[in-house]
Amino acid sequence: MDIKQIAQNRKARHDYFILETIEAGINLCGTEVKSVRASKVNLKDSYIDIKDGEAYVVGMHISPYEQGNIHNRDPLRRRKLLLHRREINRLFGLVKQDGLTLIPLSLYFKGSLIKMEAGVAKGKKLHDKRASDAERGAERDIRRAFAENNR
């Protein structure tokens, strides 16, 4: 199936350890779909909340569609995620553990459907962020040295 990336939450991988990822459908109205097709989506500072046996993404900004007039919805409204009941119950059990949260990682097209990759995440401490930055820098230096030697 053809997968096309729409938006990515880069800050999520910097601020959290991603323990597990899941794929979920997302319930959007017509003008929101048109804005998503134009890549007018921001996942920064968004999270997933489980309430009354339903999963919702909170804080995801979808810009209003320019030609949408009265059919535009609130850009920051809560949007329902389409998951099976057993998946929601399992995620709810994981989130109840200390320090775990659900965050959206990316939004993409899978064929003609819009899907969201969500992650079960544990927050990083400052020293963890420094360690992962140092590790990434060392990896980049190794690749650069390797590329220079192969010239």
Q: What are the domain boundaries of the chain?
A: 3-124
* pLDDT band at 148; cut points 50, 70, 90: confident
Predicted confidence at residue 71, as pLDDT, reads 67
The answer to whether 35 touches 64, Cβ cutoff 8 Å, is yes
pLDDT digits (tens, 9 = 90+) for 61-101: 988 887 767 767 777 889 999 999 999 999 998 888 777 99
* pLDDT band at 102; cut points 50, 70, 90: very high
* pLDDT band at 130; cut points 50, 70, 90: confident
pLDDT digits (tens, 9 = 90+) for 37-64: 888 899 988 999 999 989 999 999 988 8
**118 has pLDDT over 90:** yes
Domain 3-124 has CATH 2.40.280.10: yes
Q: What is the mean pLDDT of residues 26-46?
A: 88
* pLDDT band at 16; cut points 50, 70, 90: confident
When the pLDDT of each residue in the chain is averaged and rounded to a whole number, the result is: 87
Token pair of 68, please?
Answer: 């949408």
Predicted confidence at residue 56, as pLDDT, reads 95
Per-residue DSSP letters for 64-129?
Answer: PPTT-GGG---TT--EEEE--HHHHHHHHHHHTSTTEEEEEEEEEEETTEEEEEEEEEEEPPHHHH
Q: What is the mean pLDDT of residues 9-22?
A: 89
* pLDDT band at 14; cut points 50, 70, 90: confident
Residues 6+ apart with CB under 8 A from 12: 18, 43, 103, 104, 105, 119, 121
Predicted confidence at residue 68, as pLDDT, reads 66
